[in-house]
Chain A
Amino acid sequence: MSIILVTGGTGLVGKAIQHVIETEPEGSRFGKKPGEKWIFVSSSEADLRDTEQTKRLFEKYKPTHVIHLAAIVGGLYINMKCKLTFLRDNILINDNVLHTAHLTGTQKVISCLSTCVFPDKVTYPLDETKIHLGLPHESNFGYSHAKRLVDVQNRAYKDQFGCNFTSAIPTSIFGPHDNFNLESAHVIPALIHKCYLAQNNGTPFIVGGSGKPLRQFIYSRDLAKLFIWQLREYDDVEPVILSVGEDQEVSVKELTDAIVKAMNYKGEYILDTTQADGQFRKPASNKKLLSLMGEFRFTPFDEALQDTVQWFLNNYENARTGARGT
């Protein structure tokens, strides 16, 4: 019997993993296996910044495996305003989860880093060996340092105790159940929400920045399958980048155009170049992933974006938009 605890289980990635586990055929490559019990927890069940609450959570479920996705996340502006909070709260969450897992003899933990924690000054494409070669970009200072530390912690636990702790490094993720709150959302959900409001209210659709930055985007439901693969088949302490290929970069402008199309938005949009762009590009190599997995079929970008927009339109009332306390 395996009990797989997914922290951050109701978030963007957590929900995607749940979706895949519930919809893929049982016993298939990414489907639920017999003897597996999957538990998706959110902060309403336990505040992982608190050691006691984390301990009680582990006592309640007794997980054999953990996919640790819970984190304090946010967009550019909130990261720059609350550097200490993002650093410290994330370190608390990660330390509580890893240390509790160690103390309770959890068999395996996969934590979640991000390509945004790599050094600002680095040669591209990013790969798994470059995480610590310099300081991260200032725009996600606290989050980056806390996440990088997870890789350090994994190695320390492995070295001293033999723990099977490892990590995944996704690129920019999008999909249903994202945070669409304009105050703190990442670029895709923010633009989807902005376009929606422009369409509904006749307000201008303003895109922050020049539209030029490039990103590799991974659909949450594809990422979910990769996490399931890593849980079942990968036992090295070294992280793995979970991403589409480098040749799949899209610009923010291309993204906006795709949203306009998916939304069937008939108005204009404006690029506000007075607003910060964030990092220009950060291509990451998925060579290691593909060499280990064999093949993997990623959902075509336009299709994934269409599905996400469709989900947002269908679920606007319940989506995390920042309206009415969501």
Chain B
Amino acid sequence: MADSVILVTGGTGLVGSAIKHIIDTEPAGSRFGKRAGERWVFVSSQEGDLSDPAQTKKLFEKYKPTHVIHLAALVGGLFKNMKYKLTFLRDNMLINDNVLHSAHLTQTKKVISCLSTCVFPDKVTYPLDETKIHLGLPHESNFGYAHAKRMVDVQNHAYKDQFGSNFTSAIPTNVFGPNDNFELEGSHVIPGLIHKCYLAKKNSTPFVVSGTGKPLRQFIYSYDLAKLFIWQLREYDDVEPVILSVGEDEEVSIKEVADAIVQAMDFHGEYTFDTTRADGQFRKPASNKKLLSLMGGFEFTPFDKALKDTVKWFVENYNTARTGVKA
């Protein structure tokens, strides 16, 4: 009988699989490795539809988690988010309410939910920090998702206040790594560009990057983020969220990302920027001051290496990766 049962919802996704990788590969008993008496359970939607309270309840009854890292969500690209505002809002709220309320009713000791820097207000002063989440409406492009995620912070405070529940949340910036969604239709910028470059190389067509390449972003490697989640699980018990990110000085431009992909892919074909396409927000830096002050040091994987490893994973796993092809 394990002392701790840690349930990871969304356990087979980008972040979930990264946490599993860390737990499976870091030395047992090390800072980010599995501890004695810990049982880690990674579940996907196949095991239970978390938008259904009965299925969520059964999942909790089956595993009796002492801890939950709640990553499961309905996510998607720009087009889907704008077409299905109600679905993204409501389904995410159902998932989150079912998980938090089941955790409360079964007296789970701790839940860490996952927000995102993309849920912050559209009109805000930079850099983003943990105090600014609710200071205005989010950007329309992720209306439903953003409102549902912000509500998790509200729910955490309410559960804490009324019941003393140890519910908290993490706010990652842009995450990338193996097991991402690489579909061209709905993917985020790094997996989208990796897939595009792969196809350009394969088909001997041009690799065209939308926009000027100038926008800046902070990217966090999923394996690094996984370690930060494990740290937060073990050592952070405040209701207030924590931004999990590289430093502001680690911003990279889209052009730098594309260059790194071209190099990692060993692509020698035509490589251009389509400046007629929209850029999106120029930059949205987030501060990781709070994280570093709490953790002491943390060694982030250098961007080029992380990107190279991700490209390598994609090339080797193309046939089974989430590419939207051969569905």
Contacts and interface: CB of A to CB of B under 8 A. Distances in A.
Interface in A119-166: 132-135, 141-142, 145, 149, 152-153, 155-157, 159-161
Given A135-B134, A156-B90, A159-B86, A149 B147 contact: yes
Contacts of B162: 81-85
B188 interface: no
Nearest to A134: B135
A87 interface: yes
A141 B163 CA distance: 15
Contact of B158 (A134, A135, A142, A149): A142
Interface in B130-153: 134-137, 143-144, 147, 151
A88 B85 contact: no
B161 interface: yes
B136 A132 contact: yes
Question: What is the interface residue range for chain A against chain B?
Answer: 20 to 34
Contacts of B158: 83-84, 87-88, 141-142
B136 A160 contact: no
A95 interface: yes
Interface string B105-145: 00000000000000000000000000000111100000110
Nearest to A85: B162
Contact of B85 (A133, A142, A160): A160
A160 B135 contact: no
26 contacts: A83-B158, A83-B162, A84-B162, A85-B162, A87-B155, A88-B97, A91-B93, A91-B97, A95-B93, A99-B90, A132-B137, A133-B137, A134-B134, A142-B158, A149-B147, A152-B89, A152-B147, A153-B86, A153-B89, A155-B85, A155-B143, A156-B86, A156-B143, A159-B143, A160-B83, A160-B85
Contacts of A99: 90
Contacts of A95: 90, 93
Interface in A244-258: none
Interface string A39-50: 000000000000
Contacts, number: 67
Interface of A: 81-85, 87-88, 91, 95, 99, 132-135, 141-142, 145, 149, 152-153, 155-157, 159-161
Interface of B: 83-87, 89-90, 93, 97, 101, 134-137, 143-144, 147, 151, 154-155, 157-159, 161-163
A81 B163 CA distance: 10
A156 B144 contact: yes
A81 B161 CA distance: 8
A166 to B, nearest CB: 15
A200 to B, nearest CB: 36
A83 B161 contact: yes
Contact of B87 (A84, A134, A145, A160): A160
A159 B143 CA distance: 11
A87 B136 contact: no
A156 B89 contact: yes
A145 B147 CA distance: 11
A207 B285 CA distance: 50
Contacts of B83: 160
B83 to A, nearest CB: 7
Nearest to A87: B158
A265 to B, nearest CB: 38
B120 to A, nearest CB: 13
Contacts of B97: 88, 91
A322 B230 CA distance: 50
Nearest 8 pairs of A and B residues by beta carbon: A156-B86, A84-B158, A156-B85, A84-B162, A83-B158, A160-B86, A83-B161, A159-B85
A223 B154 CA distance: 31
Given A95-B90, A99-B90, A152-B143, 11 more contacts: A87-B155, A95-B93, A133-B135, A133-B136, A141-B154, A141-B161, A145-B154, A153-B89, A156-B85, A159-B85, A160-B83
Nearest to B94: A95
A84 B85 contact: no
Given A99-B90, A132-B136, A161-B86, A87 B143 contact: no
Nearest to A145: B154
Contacts of A135: 134
